[in-house]
Structure 1
Amino acid sequence: MTAHVPNPSPPARLRAVHKAYGPVRALQGVDLELGQGRLLALLGPNGAGKSTAIGLLLGLQAADAGRAELFGRPPRELAARQQVGVMLQTAGIQDTLKVRELLELTRSYYPAPLSIADCAAMAGLDGLLERRYGKLSGGQQRRVQFALAICGRPRLLFLDEPTTGLDIEARQALWRAIRGLVADGCAVLLTTHYLEEAEALADRVAVIDGGRIIAEGSVAEIRARVVQRRIRCVTALSADAVAAWPQVREVRSDGRQLEIIADTAEQVVRQLLAADAGLVELEVRRAGLAEAFLELTRARETA
């Protein structure tokens, strides 16, 4: 008979968490769980409760009710904190230190850190190690912050708006590094205003608004919550004329192409083809994560 082995605790978990700041209820009964080797994107408008949730998981604040756990432990326990890497929007890093010195200092806090060379390669710091942090551009500083967050070989990584200020090439490089960490078993909690970033990286998405989780699931499951379709075509029809049709929510024109957001595609496409025999470059796709996010948060505002 094989003995039952309990499942290990997840890297990060909130259980029925409540947190208020005076009359403002920042979190209201939030349950959230992040599994090992998974990337969870926590999305929400400003003031939704994202920063409070992260602050509780990092042990920077205490819950009024419920529990925050890292690897089944209170977040302030050293054994939990040593397994965590953090990249926040505000860093508080000493401007006068060189990048190499910052890495050496941060690596010293961990029992088995990555080499400086590995950190530099993953974060794209080639040629920056001997530069003083305060002399770097904003995008270069974000890459240094990422290197500092990963240098301790974290099993859990918090990334708060990690690609803000990065150009497209640097953003793509950081995405590759994040995917590599997840493939190696690291759990990642990501917050981002770039919804295409969440769509490209996340295994699961949780949408928080008004201190509550209003939707959670895979990217495909969140997208499926919204039935809208996006239709693009080149047509002689005017945007104003198409905007008046049934099922059409919004129409945009760049002078040549129309982009139509509709509740259902079939009726609108039939009407387009009937009204303009010369219509070309017709494309129909379902709502992306950005449209789903906007629809979910808009629905809560009007509820």
Structure 2
Amino acid sequence: MAEILARTVEATRRYGAVTALDRVSLDIRAGELVGLLGPNGAGKSTLVNLFAGLRRPTSGTVELLGGSPQDPVRRRGIGVTPQETGLPPALRVGECVDFVAAHFPEAVSREALLERFGLGDLVRRQIGGLSGGQKRRLAVALAFVGNPRLVFLDEPTTGLDVEARHALWDAIRDFHAGGGTVVLTSHYLEEIEALAERVVVIGEGRVLTDDTMDAVRGLVGVRRVTLTGPGLPDLPGVLGVEHEGSRTHLLTADADALVRELVLAGVPFSGLEIRPTSLEEAFLTITTREPQTA
């Protein structure tokens, strides 16, 4: 098995009465490209902050590169792009890169870094004059300046157009192909699908699933069948049931087969609606019906 670079064991993080993470245990191994997928507020950023040493767990433990995330020596081996960044507007792009690089003993050269992220022609531009997308690309590039072993990217493509997003994906792939380890958060399945090999889905502060991309794709195929009717019999292929007033919501991987079963069973119903579930709906409904493993 590859070396574990980062780990949480039963990590919980609370902010007052709010539990942002609830007993999360997770290993990140060398060479992985892990996608943390989940809706806004699911706990993804809190998890990244624990790994990066920016927050401490309320309970449980967090390890980074074999030690504490609070240890500056350990943190020198990682790069981080938080969800929100504030870069000094008066500095030029090249000056900002040089400033960050000065904190690392084996920094990537300014020219190579800016070229990798398509920022070479902006080296003398003041940060305050950059577009939102250009600032975001610079914030992501700075995560790689220290030649890290492990990079945490929290919603890295926020504010980027399609072309810039794909260029950033290519830079992340190049880093990973060279042996780098990446943890990438997003609430966009498309982004995780384009990059990740392993997918961890977070919802309501818990790990809902930790599996391959193929397994996640299968769950995304779940459909929500909604109808109004009396008590329904047990039906094959139903993954989850929710009741909302007179309406019943059934989750299934085969909506056509489920409707046929309803008709064959002679169940009276009205107001039939079929639509795709959101990823959040699918995972929350399915996982709450099955025993959680530690």
Q: TM-score range by the shorter chain?
A: 0.7 to 0.9
Q: CA 1:29/1:159 → structure 2, altered by over 3 Å: closer, same or farther?
A: same
**Identity between Structure 1 and Structure 2 (%):** 41
Are the aligned partners of 2:36 and 2:199 in contact in 1 as well (CA < 8 Å)? yes
Work out whether 1:123 is the aligned partner of 2:110: no
| Cα distance between partner residues in 2 of 1:134 and 1:226 | 41
Partner of residue 84, structure 2: 90
Deviation string, structure 1 residues 128-169 (Cα, Å, up to 9, x no partner):
000000100000001111221111111110101111111111
Distance in 2 of aligned mates of 1:117 and 1:204: 32
Tell me which of 218, 224, 238 is aligned to 1:224: 218
Aligned equivalents of 1:82, 1:294: Cα separation in 2: 38
Aligned to 1:146: 140
Counterpart residue number, 1:202: 196
Cα deviations across residues 214-257 of structure 1 (Å, max 9, x unaligned)? 1111111222345537xxxxxxxxxxxxxxxx99xxxxxxxxxx
Sort the Cα spacing of 1:90 and 1:291 in 2 relative to 1 into closer, same or farther, 3 A.
closer
Q: For the residues of structure 1 that align with 2:68 and 2:36, how far apart are their CA atoms?
A: 21
Per the alignment, residue 268 of structure 2 pairs with none
Of stretches 45-54 and 74-83 in structure 1, the one that deviates more from structure 2 is: 45-54
2:253 alignment counterpart = 263
Letter in 2 for 1:168: V
Q: Which residue of 1 aligns with 2:105?
A: 111
1:74 to 68, 74, 79: 68
* Equivalent-residue separation in structure 2 for 1:144 and 1:197 (angstroms): 19
Q: Can you list the C-alpha shifts for 1:93-123, whole angstroms capped at 9, x where unaligned?
A: 1110000000111111111111111111111
Does the alignment pair 1:296 with 2:277?
no
Aligned-partner SS, 1:90: coil
- Once the two structures are TM-superposed, the CA of residue 23 in structure 1 deviates from its matched residue by 2.0
* Contact 1:14–1:33 (CA under 8 A) maintained in structure 2: yes
Q: Does the 8 A contact of 1:9 with 1:72 survive in 2?
A: no
Provide closer, same or farther for how the CA distance between residues 123 and 157 of structure 1 changes in structure 2, counting only shifts above 3 A. Answer: same
CA RMSD of aligned residues (A): 2.7
* Cα distance between partner residues in 2 of 1:38 and 1:99: 30
Structure 1: where are the runs of 5+ without partners? 1-6, 230-245, 248-260, 271-286
Matched, 1:49 2:39: no
How do residues 146-185 of structure 1 correspond to structure 2 at under 5 angstroms? 146-185=140-179
Contact 1:223 1:292 in 2 (8 A): no
Partner Cα distance (2:257, 2:84) in 1: 49
CA distance in structure 1 between the partners assigned to 2:87 and 2:221 by the alignment: 45
SS in 2 for 1:91: coil
Distance in 1, matches of 2:4 and 2:54, equals: 20
Q: CA separation of 1:56/1:302 partners in 2, compared to 1, >3 Å: closer, same or farther? A: same
Counterpart residue number, 2:181:
187
Alignment: residue pair count: 250
Which residue does 1:240 correspond to in 2?
Answer: none
Which whole-Å CA distance do the structure 1 matches of 2:287 and 2:139 have between them?
Answer: 35
Paired amino acid for 1:163? T
Q: Once the two structures are superposed, what CA deviation does each residue of 1:184-242 show, in whole Å capped at 9, x if it has no partner?
A: 1111111112210101101111111121111111111222345537xxxxxxxxxxxxx
Give SS of 2:200's match: strand
